[in-house]
Amino acid sequence: MKFGTDGVRGVANDELTPELVLALGRAAARVLGADRAYLVGRDTRISGPLLQSALTAGLASEGASVVDLGVMPTPGVACLAAAQGCMGAVVSASHNPFADNGIKFLAQGGLKLSDSIEGQLEAELSAVLSETADTVRHTGSAIGRVTADNGEAAAWYERQLVASLEGRRLDGLSVVLDGANGAAYAIASRVFEAAGATVSVLHDQPNGVNINEHCGSTHPEELQAAVREAGADIGLAFDGDADRVLAVDGVGDIVDGDHILAICALDRRERGALRDDTLVVTTMTNLGLRLAMERHGISVAETDVGDRYILEAMAANGWTLGGEQSGHIVFRDLATTGDGQLTGLQLMDVMSRTGKPLAELAAVMTRLPQVMINVRNVDCPGLDDAAAVWAAVDVEVKALGDTGRVVLRRSGTEPIIRVMVEAPEQTKANDVAARIAAVVEAELALGWPLS
């Protein structure tokens, strides 16, 4: 089992079995330390209790104490871990379908694990799986204690979210929340009501199999209709573990992560809260955001795709705001990781203080047409040395000039090369992407049978 950009994931009880997760818990206790408490939360998937029990058993088997938080957003676990100086773990597959699940660990202080630590975890997991029956185990009082939280953790986390407004209120604003039948299904409504907003909720009835099902940040269509019908000021759609959010403005149009970043960057710069007047984004961020920030004198720092790389750049340089188009937004002075509910509160706070509707605020940037083509069954490692591919890219980049952009990146888990193109018109973006994708396929196709 390999760690990806956000822990390990797989089909629950098939690729991600209880036996494997138990072994992963034991490996984690050995690598991360068994002398401190682990706060363990999960989303609402039917497989969550099964895998959370296995993970807890593995940790306790190695002598680590575990606090079972039950259903808790990933950023909630991170917030609690940071406050208490504990380790954290979350059983969730985020926006994936319900049959999938995953395990991600948080280092002491609520931070994501580094690549090197995850490499040690992989190695230790292999060692645990190869142990024989005569391996010496912890017994007696050396076994870790497991306790269940009684709801105090969730209540404390909710108070921290509301406190991020520094006493300001959202009175007079109406919001429709789409809980994705996931980890924020109950917490979100309580938080936004406590902040003063008028709240209505969609998809807050999880049954174990309906998480992310035609709802949440990956399927905001019903939320768009609900906002229009209710005449609400804003809609917020979370994903399964509530670490990301997409917004809907008062007329039902999507306001994605790039627009949210633009709004919050300008607001924070005006208030002196944007360190070094710098915003951190990934290579997939729309060129429209970069151009908007340039017009307003805000520098843009770029990282590889993945919120962990954004977090690393922010930590290394002291920057305070970064994120992704998908809605992973990090306010590093307020949280250690992306938090969909926190982001929603901060966005509505801008609306409240300025008196401007979300559509007007989002107009600060114009999204350039963007297209992505996934070229499958190709030799990903060969991309670096594919002269014909890069020659084709060079031709297109020169033709676009400063009016567009081309990004090629290879998947870390599948034989896929992603071709992303931005251009002034959608047809031009489509044409450029198609030409480059054709060269990629011609030069790097694996052929049959697939290797």
Residues 171 and 312 in one domain: yes
The CATH number of whichever domain residue 308 belongs to comes to 3.40.120.10
Is 2 inside a domain boundary?
A: no
Q: What are the tokens at 249?
A: 């403005």
Residue 41 shares a structural domain with residue 146: yes
Q: Is residue 348 part of a domain?
A: yes
Q: Where are the beta strands (DSSP E) in 203-320?
A: 234-238, 245-248, 254-255, 278-282, 299-303
Q: Is the predicted pLDDT of residue 305 greater than 90, yes or no? A: no
Among 362, 389, 424, which residue terminates a domain?
362
293 and 383 together in one domain: no
- Share of residues in the chain with pLDDT > 90 (%): 87
Q: Which is it for the CA torsion 421, 423, 426, 432, positive or negative?
A: negative
Peptide bond preceding 73: is omega within 30 degrees of 0, i.e. cis?
no
Q: Based on the domain organization, do 60 and 198 belong to the same domain?
A: no
pTM of the model: 0.91
Last residue of a domain, one of 131, 150, 169: 150
Q: What pLDDT does residue 447 have? A: 63
Considering the domain architecture, whether residues 61 and 107 belong to the same structural domain is answered as yes
Whether 1 maps to a domain, the answer reads no
**For this structure, is 141 an active site residue?**
no
Q: How many domains in the chain? A: 3
Same domain, 114 and 165: no
Q: How high is the pLDDT of residue 412?
A: 64
Three-class DSSP category at 409: strand
CA dist 260 and 248 (Å) reads 11
One domain, residues 318 and 337: yes
**pLDDT confidence bin for 410, thresholds 50/70/90:** confident
Separation between Cα atoms, residue 344 and residue 243, nearest integer Å = 11
The answer on pLDDT for 41 being more than 60 is: yes
8 Å CB contact between 203 and 185: yes
Same domain, 50 and 166: no
Average pLDDT over residues 195-213: 98
Q: Which residues contact 134 (CB under 8 A, 6 or more apart)?
A: none
102-150 residue pLDDT tens: 999 999 889 888 889 999 999 999 999 998 777 888 899 999 999 999 9
Whether residue 449 is contained in a domain is answered as: no
Whether the per-residue pLDDT at 2 is higher than 80: the answer is no
Of 127, 126, 131, 130, residue with least CA distance to 1 = 126
Report the distance separating Cα 221 and Cα 237, nearest Å.
10
Residue 3 lies in a domain: no
Dist. CA 170–CA 173, nearest whole Å: 6
Query: Is there a domain that residue 97 lies in?
Result: yes
Answer yes or no: is 450 within a domain. no
Q: What is the pLDDT of residues 42-78, one digit of tens each?
A: 999 999 999 999 999 999 999 999 999 999 999 999 9
Same domain, 267 and 308: yes
Catalytic residue among 94, 189, 217, 326: 94
Last residue of a domain, one of 82, 115, 150: 150
Please indicate, yes or no, whether residues 170 and 315 belong to a single structural domain of this protein.
Answer: yes
Residue 254 has pLDDT above 90, yes or no: yes
Decide: 441 and 378 in contact? Cβ < 8 Å: yes
Domain limits for position 382: 370-444
pLDDT of 97 above 60: yes
Residues 146 and 160 grouped into a single domain? no
Determine, yes or no, domain membership for 380. yes
Residue 105 dihedral angles phi and psi, to the nearest 5°:
-105, 150
